[in-house]
Amino acid sequence: MSLISLHINNLRNLSSVKVSPSDKFNLLYGPNGSGKTSFFEAIYYLMLGRSFRTRHNVRAIQHNNTHLSIFAKIRKDDELISLGIERHSGGKNLLRINQENKSSMLEATKILPVQLLNPESRHLLTAYSKARRGFIDWGVFHVEPSFILSWQQAQRALKQRNAALKSNASKTMVEIWNVELNHAAGRLNTFRKNYLAALEPILLNMLSIFFKDTFNLSFKYKAGWDEEDGLITTLQRTLSRDFQLGYTQHGPHKTDLLIRINNTIPAQDVLSQGQQKLLVYALHLAQGILLKKQSGKKCVFLLDDLSAELDVENRRKVIEALHQIDAQVFITAIDKETLESMGDFPNTCMFHVERGKIIPAV
Ligand SMILES: Nc1ncnc2c1ncn2[C@@H]1O[C@H](COP(=O)(O)OP(=O)(O)OP(=O)(O)O)[C@@H](O)[C@H]1O
Ligand SMILES: [Mg+2]
């Protein structure tokens, strides 16, 4: 899968942008405020139906305009898929795939898996568990067709159970949802564990290249409840506290990935900022490799400001890994020289971004 053309209208300062990228490396340079991140926002918006910059998608619409639109052609093996999304300021996303209206954004999301890496990605290590669950679930979603159903069932059971707890419903009412939640949690737990078990060797291999075995990094899966007792027993044991709190303390909504050094210290307590960035890149690159291995799908990597906090040697390691993955890659930088110093790979397109225009550069 790769984007072969992109047409963006009225998204932030991108009034009308048409780009035909390479299916390998695409390097974009331009000054602050020229539109580099907005270009990534457009790709992300098209595939996920939302911005990564704000919870208020409407803010991505260009000032003094009523709507934004993004169209793309995506090559999937021998097939060409056309994808379009439109968002009016007062309305919802309107998604079309091959000229057909679609009601669920997931239809688009599953076509082209997107990996966005920017200076904020480092927070994967320090953020709440939701971010790391999102990381695991990205991988499971793209390889396990029934994941989304189990995830939705867990969300529904959790919502109902929390509502029962809040309204001080009977113990029996709450316990009905224990059973539902337990079923969905069991499936999610298996998916997530299997995914991480497959990811770990790829990840460790990448880390030994990136860090030359300087750090003994470990990755420990945490289900979100006492796995020895099982979720039902855990929920029963903690029921009175759940009633006091008005929400469910344990379950698949608490799943986490503990990233540690020497099995004890949280990685972020030891690693420098650049090293944290490198670790997070390794996590996402490993996902790209596994995705291809498990499903044959290629993802598109969007690397915003790769050079920030990474020295030349580490940038090269990242670029070399991306080259090995054979993914479609977009990388931004302020100046052309930074991009040129990253190496010379075949089928690379260079673009100059200037005041909302994206022009092929030589
Ligand atoms: N809704 C909007 N309508 C029009 N312009 C906008 C809107 N929101 C933001 N902008 C402007 O769009 C421009 C592009 O921003 P963007 O973040 O894409 O720049 P950038 O090239 O990534 O810059 P940097 O190198 O600083 O990260 C900025 O000048 C910003 O002020
Ligand atoms: Mg930017």
Domains parsed from the chain with CATH numbers? 1-113+298-362 (3.40.50.300), 121-295 (1.20.1050.90)
- Residue 80 CA to residue 58 CA, distance in Å, equals 29
User: Where do we find the tokens 């799943």?
Assistant: 255
User: Where do we find the tokens 């290629």?
Assistant: 298
Ligand nearest to the CA of 41: 1
State residue 112 phi and psi, 5-degree precision. -135, 100
Do residues 354 and 15 make contact, with C-beta atoms less than 8 angstroms apart? no
Among 200, 193, 194, CA closest to 221: 193
Indicate the top mutation candidate among 8, 10, 11, 13 to test ligand 1's pocket, ranked by most ligand atoms within 8 A of CB. Answer: 13
- Residue 53, pLDDT above cutoff 80: yes
Mean pLDDT to the nearest integer, 112-138: 96
102 — pLDDT class (breaks 50, 70, 90): very high
Mean pLDDT to the nearest integer, 117-133: 95
Mean pLDDT to the nearest integer, 339-353: 91
The C-alpha angle 165, 171, 174, rounded to 5 degrees, equals 50
Among 348, 347, 317, 355, CA closest to 331: 348
* Per-position b or e across 74-103, b if 16+ CB within 10 A of its CB: bbeeeeebebbbbbeeeeebebebeeeebe
Nearest-CA residue for ligand 1 atom 18 is: 35
Indicate the top mutation candidate among 10, 37, 118 to test ligand 1's pocket, ranked by most ligand atoms within 8 A of CB. Answer: 37
Nearest-CA residue for ligand 1 atom 6 is: 12
Residues within 6 Å of ligand 1 by CB: 12-13, 30, 32-38, 59, 62-63, 334
pLDDT for res 209: 95
- Residue 351 CA to residue 362 CA, distance in Å, equals 8
User: Where do we find the tokens 């949280």?
Assistant: 266
Distance of CA 284 to the CA centre of its chain: 8
| pLDDT tens digits for range 240-286 | 999 999 999 999 999 999 999 999 999 999 999 999 999 999 999 99
For residue 269, report the distance from its CA to the centre of ligand 1, in Å. 33
pLDDT for res 342: 85
Do residues 219 and 192 make contact, with C-beta atoms less than 8 angstroms apart? no
- Residue 343, pLDDT above cutoff 90: no
